[in-house]
Amino acid sequence: MKKFDKRYSGIKTTFYKLQIDALKPTGRQIYNWIKSNRWEIKRKDILRKTYVKGRKRSKGIFSKFTNSFVFPIWTRPKYIDNRSEFGHWEMDLIIGKKEHGYENLITFQERLTRMVVIERIKTKDPMKLNSKVYQLIKKNNLHVKSITIDNGIEFSKNGLLAKWINCHVYYCEPYNSYQRGSNEHINGIIRRFWKKWTDFSNLLNEEILDTQNKINQMPREIFSRTSSLDLFKKNNLKY
């Protein structure tokens, strides 16, 4: 095969020289090989630096933060996957009433201890959500090494948040909520208190904090009846 030229060659042309018809990788797979240095061409050699099907391409200054701080979940290290280290978080947004102008709930959960922080927000705007989460982290003095999110548009600019707090963000594959399993589970527990389409605007801050405390103080079978809050405090003392 001739030397790859990004001006007129797609990345799949680099695969054809193998002449193995049985193997037909997707564009995502080849981009993954390139990103992990398993392929003959490197990211600097290609026109588009990332595979974007199924996700909006970052634009302007945000693309720099996304490329530097935001990664697909398959790149997340094993020690984060197996919960052997404290300080790795999952994040989601629980939607209240669907009409515009109603408040939603941010759930921010530590993976090792399952301790959750709940914060109310009136918008799904990505930049305002970044600011709210940054305030949440600083107000609670949280130690954050990584954040795992879903593919929601509200998280599309989390690269900037990652730069602010100097951590990595990992985004899950579409329709694979199990990749944020702890967060999905805690959202289900929160729904025991407030059903779907609840108008969170009617809740007092004290009610939200009380619910957060009740959840974090529940004896957890997975921790031999120790609560998430007690386990979090024990691990947090190290920092």
User: Which domains are present in the chain?
Assistant: 11-53 (no CATH), 64-236 (3.30.420.10)
pLDDT tens-digit map of 99-153: 677 899 999 999 999 999 999 998 889 999 999 999 999 999 999 999 999 988 8
Q: Mention every residue, 6+ apart, whose C-beta is less than 8 A from residue 223.
A: 231
pTM of the model: 0.73
Q: What is the DSSP string of the chain?
A: -PPP-TTT--GGGGTGGG--TT----HHHHHHHHHTT-SSS-GGGSSSSS--TTSPPP-THHHHHHHHHEEEGGGS-HHHHTT-SS-EEEEEEE---SSTT--EEEEEEETTT--EEEEEES---HHHHHHHHHHHHHHTT---SEEEE-S-GGGTTHHHHHHHHT-EEEEPPTT-GGGGHHHHHHHHHHHHHS-TT--GGGS-HHHHHHHHHHHHTSEEGGGTTEEHHHHHHHHHTT-
Rounded CA-CA distance 68/88 in Å is: 18
- Answer whether 87's CB lies under 8 Å from 202's CB: no
HSE value, Cβ hemisphere, 13 Å, CA-based, for 86: 14
- Nearest CA among 91, 128, 120, 79 for reference residue 103: 120
Confidence of residue 174 (pLDDT cuts 50, 70, 90): confident
The predicted structure's pLDDT at residue 21: 46
pLDDT tens-digit map of 1-13: 445 454 444 545 5
Rg (CA), the chain: 21
